[in-house]
Copies of this chain bind each other. A is one copy, B any other.
């Protein structure tokens, strides 16, 4: 193990502190492996975890059953079984595994607990699930559960830079990189354990904006250390990915072009990929941000996105690799005077015509909304809009626009809305969850990715409460049917213990926190209004006269962007009936009203309030709700770990300051612009 460069760290939901043994004692002193090779790296990890968890939580040190079938006998006979099977944990490989290599079931049978899994990863997930139940103080008695992942790919994307900084990171610096060197230590392993425990199976360790030293991750300068990192993730069934600089063939290879159709480019990448897969074990493939926000890409050479992606896909194909290609392609030098160009349209417009042109090992990674991770956006029409292309949903667990892990904002309810959205792309299997699970198109190279919220802060996520987003994202990626509340019912006891008041208080705070944040920031789907660059704090006009395509178009009569067929036509990118629903001010869901329509301040909402009064009310309410959370948290003093208490309390203090600025600035801005006073006569400046 190396010199410890990252800060000391916590174990979060894997802290394995002493738990009540709610009658699980009889099952857990002995385990038996059936059909699994105890020398397999993942099996070894599972057994280590089992011992660590049971020892910490129940003081049990489980031992492997010494019983073995007689020599020559392939299977245990019934009598043998009867003799041996009393109160043990059987870890059994299910044969055949079919497509269920990652699935597992847990049931009690004849006094034993049987964990059956189709493969080693399923075994690992099953062990973590068993430990989760122990941690939640659930009895295993009579258990009968089965679970398999809904999404084939369940990935985390790190936007870590090699200088140690993290783009949009709010939890300290990178624990992968420092001063252009790679960090490999016990924390890496703990991170892999945390990720695997919630069912994640892929990690991209470096920022999608690949510059400077990061371009060299695929060279001798770093191969050795990269391989060490990749090996650690391999122990936990997590495939290893890198973000790629599309222009690497020029920067590293000295070519004068990166034209994907140029032979020398293709040849360079074929050679380079051979080298990468030779040198980096457990390599799954690459993530590419091309032609986006100044990054190089095939557009430079008059080629399509498909040309670029396919060229790389061909190069990684011999090694079973995949290319994940981001769809965040838009004009970031827009003129604010231009009311016709619409950034929301860009992803669809740039990618829809090439539907079907991509190799089978290319996946398009699509942000949940058409803009950029705002607190409220419609679902990207590209999801399900593409009918012949592998798709991966990208969400952002890092709280870039949602409070910087200062403000509490439990994002799982938002992710649920995205997953449950009916795209109407195919009868019976048309939700986003259907599309990215492969159910819609019957494909396997699909899934979900999250820009993750971790850093080298001791508690990994800055605000302890942001741990719920890391945990929840993984669980939801694995089982999209879990509710936001069910996830909290798991995470809270594992993190805070079993105090009922803590559970109830935190559930109330977290389940409502996203709506609260929305209320005191930007109203009714309009988004933005943030300080440019930093993306925290209010600046109503911060992006109004900018080149970023992010406008609210507020004037003295109203605000919002007309994206109907009379405006930019964005609403028409959806299938019916969504297109018509969004197109009309009356049928448009009100939480997205200003995203789709330019609406007068005097427009009356379904609540009977005018738009302007709604803006005032929601901002006052949002602040009051934040205040009530801070108070509720204060009442938990003594019931939660003092360090956690202090960490969260300090952040609530900053959240209230932030919420107050948002409330007063937004209300003052729209009052000053509309001249319409608050009906309730509250203070507006």
Measured CB to CB, the residues of A under 8 A from B are 336-337, 538-541, 545, 554-557, 661, 664-665, 668-669, 671-675, 685
Contacts and interface: CB of A to CB of B under 8 A. Distances in A.
A541 to B, nearest CB: 4
Contacts of A336: 685
Nearest to A661: B545
Contacts of A554: 672
Contacts of A541: 539-541, 669
A504 to B, nearest CB: 36
B555 A671 contact: yes
A337 B663 CA distance: 12
Residue in A665, A671, A673 whose Cβ sees the most chain B Cβ within 10 Å:
A673
Contacts of A668: 545
Nearest to A540: B541
Given A668-B545, A685-B337, A675 B539 contact: no
Contacts of A664: 337, 545
A673 B555 CA distance: 6
B673 A556 contact: yes
Given A336-B685, A685-B336, A545 B539 contact: yes
A516 to B, nearest CB: 21
Contacts of A337: 664, 685
Contacts of A671: 555
Contacts of A540: 541
A636 to B, nearest CB: 31
5 contacts: A545-B661, A545-B668, A555-B675, A556-B674, A673-B673
A556 B672 contact: yes
Nearest to A671: B555
A675 B545 contact: no
Contacts of A669: 541, 545
A520 to B, nearest CB: 15
A216 to B, nearest CB: 26
A642 B555 CA distance: 47
A317 to B, nearest CB: 47
Given A337-B685, A557-B675, 13 more contacts: A337-B664, A539-B541, A539-B545, A540-B541, A541-B669, A545-B669, A554-B672, A555-B671, A555-B672, A555-B675, A556-B556, A556-B674, A556-B675
A562 to B, nearest CB: 15
A540 B554 CA distance: 14
Contacts of A556: 556, 672-675
Nearest to A559: B672
Contacts of A538: 545
A661 B664 CA distance: 28
Nearest to A683: B337
Residue in A336, A337, A538, A668 whose Cβ sees the most chain B Cβ within 10 Å:
A337
A673 B559 CA distance: 12
Nearest to A538: B545
A94 to B, nearest CB: 61
Contacts of A665: 545
A543 to B, nearest CB: 11
A540 B539 CA distance: 11
A597 to B, nearest CB: 17
- Across the A-B interface, the 3 shortest Cβ-Cβ residue pairs: A555-B672, A556-B675, A541-B541
Nearest to A660: B337
A400 B540 CA distance: 25
A555 B557 CA distance: 13
Contacts of A672: 554-556, 673
Nearest to A674: B556
A522 B232 CA distance: 59
Nearest to A537: B545
A671 to B, nearest CB: 7
A458 to B, nearest CB: 29
A675 to B, nearest CB: 4
A7 to B, nearest CB: 26
A675 B556 CA distance: 6
A464 B557 CA distance: 46
A668 B661 CA distance: 25
A49 to B, nearest CB: 49
Nearest to A668: B545
A554 B539 CA distance: 15
A674 B675 CA distance: 9
Contacts of A555: 671-673, 675
Contacts of A545: 538-539, 661, 664-665, 668-669
Nearest to A531: B532
A561 to B, nearest CB: 14
A340 to B, nearest CB: 12
A673 to B, nearest CB: 5
A337 B674 CA distance: 18
A611 to B, nearest CB: 16
